[in-house]
Amino acid sequence: MPPATSMTPWSRRFKSLNDINSNHYMLFNSGTRWLAFRLDFMAATLTLFVSLFVVLSRNEDISPSLKGLALSYTIQLTGMLQYVVRQATEVEARFNSVERLQEYITGCKSEAPRHLEDACMPENWPTGGSIAFQNYKMRYRENTPIVLNGLDFIIRAGEKLGIVGRTGSGKSSLGVALFRLAEPAAGSILIDGVDISAIGLQDLRSKLSIIPQDPVLFVGTVRHNLDPFNSYSDKKIWVALERTYMKDSISKLEGHLQAQVLENGENFSVGERQLICMARALLRNSKIILLDEATASIDAETDAMIQTTIRDAFQDCTMLTIAHRINTVIHADRILVMDNGKVAELDTPDVLSQRSDSLFSSLLDAANSVSTSEAN
């Protein structure tokens, strides 16, 4: 084995995981041997007592045939006892899965229906993309704290809204609320006047697009990742790839759009995966786009190109950008500052930055000081 200093990170990771597995396997074998010894000891002790009873008892009390039968069954007890105990422990271990399935069946609440026949939803909804939060409250599970508390504001159609705030302020929870990953505890969200709680989940989520911070690709082809339901032509897919600067990279792959994508997109870099996710959102052409710091994994040059593409391609869309870096939303139409699940501030970047007592100004100053220290 090469010395530790020359081992690659993957080799060290494999060695560490192998050691952990060996430790647990040794403990399991040790426990099995301990149990087998105790069971054998119990069986041998019982055999000793039965043998003494057989030898010391008189033939007039117990016939010799019954004594022989008792000794025969007692000797067989050694193997049978271990087998029965092992089977009992196996049954108990296996029934843990049954208990979990039973809990999921009886205790877990399923999501809302995918489609509602009586839903009042206009054709080609949403046409504008305006979003209205009306005294909205949300918690992730019952008997847990409120994470969004009394949100009451309006996002205009086609508006570019930057969402900022400290860790735990409720930025990402807005996306959870918009996609109805958690149902509201009170209040409602209206998109173009339609209450999203009154329509099916599929009808809602098919009209929204999200570009996550961590790009998600699935095993299959490039085309399947871009258009899983075969709703668009190859020409439109190539146009989306060209607008996200991925056309040349995909053209060089064997099979082009039919090129294979490994699990989690391992045959693409993180930046390329993010670009493919952006091409997927471009292809759907939704009226409402949610960006969760979508360019965090892309270099500065590609980031600049993508920002230009976002401004051009999503010009007529309502775009909500959850920003972990304040500078990425400084050119948004308005800034929403979240604090403890509430709307702390909502105004244009210029107005908020000029107010020295605003929370946005403090976040902006902190971001600039970090950038200055990194540059030095």
pLDDT of 4 above 60: no
Burial class (CB in 10 A: 0-12, 13-18, 19+), 77: middle
- Break the chain into its structural domains and give their ranges: 14-88, 131-375
Residue 70 sits at the vertex; the CA angle it makes with 68 and 75, to the nearest 5 degrees, is 95
Rounded CA gap, 241 and 122, in Å? 31
The pLDDT of residue 2 is: 47
What tens digit of pLDDT does each residue of 206-227 get? 889 888 877 888 888 999 999 8
Given a contact cutoff of 8 angstroms between Cβ atoms, the answer to whether 189 and 200 are in contact is: no
The conformation of residue 333, written as its DSSP 8-state character, comes to S
216 vs 374 pLDDT, higher one: 216
Mean pLDDT computed over every residue of the chain = 83
Spatial CA neighbour of 251 closest among 264, 234, 266, 263: 234
Q: Residue 1: pLDDT band by 50, 70, 90 thresholds?
A: very low
Helix (H, G, I), strand (E, B) or coil at 120: coil
What tens digit of pLDDT does each residue of 44-55 get? 888 888 888 888
Spatial CA neighbour of 147 closest among 102, 179, 183, 111: 183
| Intra-chain end-to-end CA distance of the chain, in Å | 42
Domain 131-375 CATH superfamily:
P-loop containing nucleotide triphosphate hydrolases (3.40.50.300)
The pLDDT of residue 77 is: 77
pLDDT of 375 above 70: no
What tens digit of pLDDT does each residue of 166-210 get? 888 888 899 899 999 988 989 999 999 889 998 989 889 888 988
* Concatenated DSSP letters of 234-288: HHHHHHHHHHTT-HHHHHTSTTGGG-EE-GGGTTS-HHHHHHHHHHHHHHHT-SE
Given a contact cutoff of 8 angstroms between Cβ atoms, the answer to whether 369 and 332 are in contact is: no
Q: Which residue has the tokens 């041998």?
A: 44
What tens digit of pLDDT does each residue of 66-108 get? 888 888 888 887 778 878 887 887 788 778 888 888 888 887 7
Rounded CA gap, 167 and 161, in Å? 19
The pLDDT of residue 301 is: 67
153 vs 358 pLDDT, higher one: 153
What tens digit of pLDDT does each residue of 318-365 get? 989 888 777 778 888 899 999 888 998 898 988 888 887 888 888 887
Percent residues over pLDDT 90 in the chain: 12
Q: Residue 291: pLDDT band by 50, 70, 90 thresholds?
A: confident
The pLDDT of residue 229 is: 85
Checking DSSP bridges between strand 194-195 and strand 260-261, what pairing results, if any? Answer: unpaired
What tens digit of pLDDT does each residue of 229-273 get? 888 889 999 988 888 888 888 998 888 899 988 887 888 887 788
The pLDDT of residue 370 is: 55
The pLDDT of residue 189 is: 93
pLDDT of 41 above 90: no
